[in-house]
C-alpha cells in the first residue's frame, strides 16, 4: 500500500508546473496545438489567423490560418 502513495507523490511532482518553457504540461500543450494544425504564438495571432486555444498558465495562444 505504501508503494501507491509513493507513486502518487512522484506523479504529482512530475506534473507540477515548471518555471519557463520546459516541463511536461507545456510540452503537452504545444503538442496539442500542433496536432490541431496550429502555431504556438507567444504574443498573439497574426491578422490572417484565428485563435483556436489559449494556455491558462502562460497566457500564450494557439493560432491557425482562417478557413
**Mean pLDDT per 10-residue interval, the chain, length 67 residues:** 84 70 70 84 86 77 85
What is the biggest distance separating any 2 CA atoms in the chain, rounded to whole angstroms?
Answer: 55
3-state SS of the chain? CHHHHHHHHHHHHHCCCCCCCCCHHHHHHHHHHHHCCCEEECCCCCCCEEEEEECCCCCCEEEEECC
- Give domain status of residue 22, yes or no: no
- Domain range spanning residue 64? 38-67
**8 assigned to some structural domain:** no
Instruction: Tell me what pLDDT residue 1 has.
Output: 65
Q: Which three cell numbers stand for residue 2?
A: 505504501
Domain containing residue 62: CATH number = 3.10.360.10
What is residue 65's predicted lDDT score, i.e. its pLDDT?
A: 87
Q: Is residue 32 part of a domain?
A: no
pTM over 0.85? The answer is no
pLDDT reported for residue 23: 65
Amino acid at each position: 500500500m505504501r508503494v501507491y502513495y509513493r507513486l502518487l507523490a512522484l506523479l504529482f511532482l512530475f506534473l507540477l508546473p515548471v518555471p519557463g518553457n520546459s516541463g511536461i504540461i507545456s510540452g503537452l500543450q504545444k503538442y496539442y496545438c500542433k496536432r490541431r494544425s496550429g502555431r504556438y504564438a507567444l504574443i498573439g495571432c497574426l491578422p490572417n489567423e484565428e485563435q483556436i486555444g489559449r494556455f491558462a498558465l502562460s497566457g500564450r495562444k494557439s493560432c491557425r490560418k482562417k478557413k
